[in-house]
Chains A and B, each alone.
Chain A
Amino acid sequence: MGKLTRPVYLLGAGCTKFGNLLETPEIKGLSIYELAAQAARRALEDAKTDPREIDAFIIGNHMPQSLNMGSLYSQFTKWIGMEHKAGVQVAAACSTTNAAATMAASQIAAGVYRKVLVVGVEATQNNPKGPFPYGREPITSENMWMWTDYGVNQAYGVPQGYDIFPVYNGLMALAYRRKYGLTQEEFDRGMMELCRTKRLHGSLTPNAILQETLEEEAKRLGFTDLYEFWTSPHNPYIAYPTRLRSLVTAADGASAMVLSDADGAREYDGMPIELLGWGISVGDLPWYQEDGTTFPADVIAFREAYEMADIRPEQIGYLHTHDCSHISGLTNAELSGYLPEGKGLMYAAEGRLRFDGDRPMSTHGGRHAFGHAWAASAGADTLEAMDQIRGRAGKKQIPTPPQIAVVHTHGYAMISTVLVLRGGM
């Protein structure tokens, strides 16, 4: 891996409310075009950048079946103010926007472009309704997963019974339990605490799909004991030993960001965020081998990101790891060096992963509480990291804003992407 020959900065980012285009008031009734436009506009306004200053844009999506479209570059160009710019569509599933940011950064560092807009858009809850380009209708969970799984090994994996829930959750959880000698109750209690942290963060984040804390939900359903609720039929095993509330909450949403060279950053009157480095590694099934808690692709991505950015784990003040599987998010936090190996659940129970703890993580709520709109999510993760560094994360602001943040995402299936961000020039 080489290093950037010129510095690259994130000037702005934006995202929509994550929810359902058919139900969620903030986005209800929007078309997919308007959803992307809302995120792009917010990113451009945050970057204080006129669309005419953008030289190129990259737009991405994972699941075209819910849009009934391809060639997003031309189909969206007049909606996001990018007509006649250089534009391209990329796909890296749930890493799309962050992987696109690394491509934009390479173009900027090469001196080809000065400012680049990145956009990710996804609908996981609905698709076009009949012949009406303004109408949408719900899609079934079965269709959503079948279409999502087009990103998974179609020669052997999917045709032979692959299922995301045991592969990305249950088997990894069993491997973690064995590696660290955890009973099922110890594991269950730890995962409950981890979920409690995510839900707290979601409740403090206006754009999150789940606004209710875990305690509030338990109370609403008639429980006074949180663990009794956690182990009740309201929270069944989806892939033993993993329960429903340790999993993703699928959503519709869009995100965007503006990247710039140093001249653009100097002209910006806010705090530019430097993209210090990144690591990307892809791997096909099986994602893990002898150690069921560790993907070789993640090992490579973190190592290369740290080398490129020239940082050590001790310098990280905020971490997001891809957590549409809470156990995978936890194992990657330990792999990153941000949490000690085998201690992640204990740290969650002690409140150390909260925004006001000493190892704050995923302060927007992560993929369970913030929600997950596949190709749009990585941009929302990066936006949260930028907000924390800039000290504008609202009610869940880390008391002492971090200087360095690391954002890790998994793009199905599987592209591990790690970005290292630092505030200022």
Chain B
Amino acid sequence: MTTSVIKRYYDGLAEGTIQATKCPTCDTVTFPPTTACEKCGSFEVEWVELSGKGALEYVSHGAAPPPNPAFNDLAPYSYGHVRLDEGVYVQGIVTNVEPTPTALEELFQRGPVPVEADIIDVGGLPVLAFKVV
């Protein structure tokens, strides 16, 4: 019995951990995890855990309804570009920023702000979101 990389990632999220793969050859972290190093292509990768802490570089919003109907109940929502402390960039829902021009402009004026992971449930699937701290 083997476990899919994808299932291991979501199982980890359900338990509150954020898992990535790291290449022992070139030290590049691939996130979200895959079967090969995103930089050198090596298939010899190892699992590592990320902190979920980082900086929200920019935050915009999407309108309702969203492209993915699984998010109908959540939309409209704010969506951000995050640099994790491990140097990895990830984009995701930002849960505690109102998706309004006023709130989004206010965040923009503040510049990068600290965030941490806020794992939410969407239709039974754990989803990596972030919240401003």
Which residues on A are within 8 Å of B, measured CB to CB?
142, 145-146, 148-149, 155-167, 169-171, 173-175, 177-178, 184, 237-242, 284-286, 288-290, 292
Given A161-B92, A166-B60, A169-B60, do A156 and B9 touch, yes or no (CB 8 Å)?
Answer: yes
Q: Considering the complex of A and B, which 7 residue pairs feature the smallest CB-CB distances, nearest first? A: A170-B60, A163-B62, A166-B60, A145-B67, A166-B79, A174-B58, A156-B32
The residues in B between 34 and 84 inclusive whose CB is less than 8 angstroms from any CB of A are 34, 38, 57-63, 65-71, 74, 77, 79-81, 83
**B91 and A146 contacting across the interface, CB-CB below 8 Å:** no
Are B68 and A158 in touch, CB under 8 angstroms?
A: yes
Instruction: Give the residues in chain B near A162, CB-CB below 8 Å.
Output: 67-68, 91
| Chain A residue contacts of B57, Cβ below 8 A | 175, 292
Q: Is A146 touching B69 in the complex (CB atoms < 8 A)?
A: yes
Closest to B128 in A: A160
* Inter-chain contacts of A173 with B (CB < 8 A): 60
Q: CA A284 – CA B30 in complex, angstroms?
A: 11
Query: Which partner residue on chain A sits nearest B102 by CB separation?
Result: A240
The distance in angstroms between the C-alpha atoms of A169 and B60, with both chains bound, is 9
CB nearest to A164 among chain B residues:
B67
For chain B, the count of residues having a C-beta within 8 Å of the partner chain is 41
Q: Which residues of A contact B9 (CB under 8 A)?
A: 156
A377 vs B63: C-alpha distance in the bound complex, in angstroms? Answer: 25
A155-B6, A237-B101 as given contacts; A171 in contact with B58, CB under 8 Å:
yes
- Distance between Cα atoms of A155 and B69 in the complex (Å): 16
Complex CA gap A158/B125 in Å reads 12
B101 touches A170 (CB 8 A): no
In the bound complex, CA of A159 to CA of B93 (Å):
12
Tell me whether A161 and B32 are in contact in the complex, defined as CB-CB below 8 angstroms, given that A184-B105, A289-B89, A290-B89 are known contacts. Answer: no
Indicate which residue in A148, A160, A165, A292 contacts B92 across the interface (CB closer than 8 Å): A160
Shortest C-beta distance, A385 to chain B (Å), equals 31
Q: Once the chains are docked, how many angstroms separate the CA of A241 from the CA of B58?
A: 11
Contact present for A149 and B68 (CB under 8 Å): yes
A161 touches B60 (CB 8 A): no
Q: Are B122 and A292 in contact (CB under 8 A)?
A: no
Residues of B within 8 A of A (CB): 6, 9, 32, 34, 38, 57-63, 65-71, 74, 77, 79-81, 83, 89-93, 99, 101, 104-105, 108, 111, 122, 125, 127-129
| Nearest-Cβ distance from residue A68 to partner chain B, whole angstroms | 20
Bound-state CA distance A284–B33 (Å) is 13
* Of the residues A167, A238, A242, A292, contact of B79 by C-beta under 8 Å: A167
Which residue of chain B has its CB nearest to the CB of A156? Answer: B32
Interchain CB contact under 8 A, A292 and B66? no
Report the nearest B residue to A175, measured CB to CB: B58
In the complex, the answer to whether A239 meets B71 with C-beta atoms within 8 Å is: no
B-chain residues with CB within 8 Å of residue A184 when the two chains form the complex? 105
Question: Within the assembled complex, what's the spacing in Å between the Cα atoms of A19 and B58?
Answer: 35
Cβ contacts under 8 Å, B128 to chain A: 160
Q: Which residue of A lies closest to B38 (CB)?
A: A284
- Residues of chain A lying within 8 A (CB to CB) of residue B60: 165-166, 169-171, 173-174, 239-242
**Cβ of B61 and Cβ of A286 under 8 Å apart?**
no
Q: Which residues of A contact B61 (CB under 8 A)?
A: 166, 170, 237, 239-240
CB distance from B17 to the nearest CB of A (A): 15
**Complex: A215 Cα to B66 Cα, angstroms:** 31
Which A residue sits closest to B112, measured CB to CB?
A178
Report whether B93 and A161 are in contact in the complex, using a CB–CB cutoff of 8 Å.
yes
Select which of B63, B101, B125, B127 is within 8 A of A241 by beta carbon.
B101
Give the CA-CA distance A288 to B57 in the complex, in Å: 12
What's the nearest-Cβ distance from chain B to residue A52, in Å?
44
CB-defined A-B contacts under 8 Å, sample of 18: A142-B69, A146-B68, A156-B32, A162-B91, A163-B66, A165-B62, A167-B79, A171-B60, A171-B79, A171-B91, A174-B60, A175-B81, A177-B108, A178-B108, A184-B105, A239-B60, A239-B63, A240-B105
> Distance in Å from the Cβ of B96 to the closest Cβ of chain A?
15
Cα(A285)–Cα(B9), bound, Å: 17
Check if A290 sits within 8 Å of B91, measured CB to CB: no
Which residue of chain A lies nearest to B79 when distances are taken between CB atoms in the complex?
Answer: A166
User: Nearest-CB distance from A292 to chain B (Å)?
Assistant: 6
Residues from chain A with a CB closer than 8 A to the CB of B70 are: 159
B67 with A159: CB separation less than 8 A: no
In the bound complex, residues from chain B placing their C-beta under 8 Å from that of A170 are 58, 60-61, 79
- B33 CB to nearest chain A CB (Å): 9
A321 to chain B, nearest CB (A): 21
Shortest Cβ distance from residue A382 to the other chain B in the assembled complex, whole angstroms: 28
A140 to B6, CA, bound (A): 30
Q: Are A286 and B105 in contact (CB under 8 A)?
A: no
Instruction: Please tell me if the beta carbons of A155 and B67 are within 8 angstroms of each other in the complex.
Output: no
Q: How many angstroms between the C-alpha atoms of A163 and B108 in the bound complex?
A: 19
Given contacts A162-B68, A239-B62, 5 further A-B contacts (CB under 8 A): A161-B122, A171-B60, A237-B101, A239-B79, A289-B89
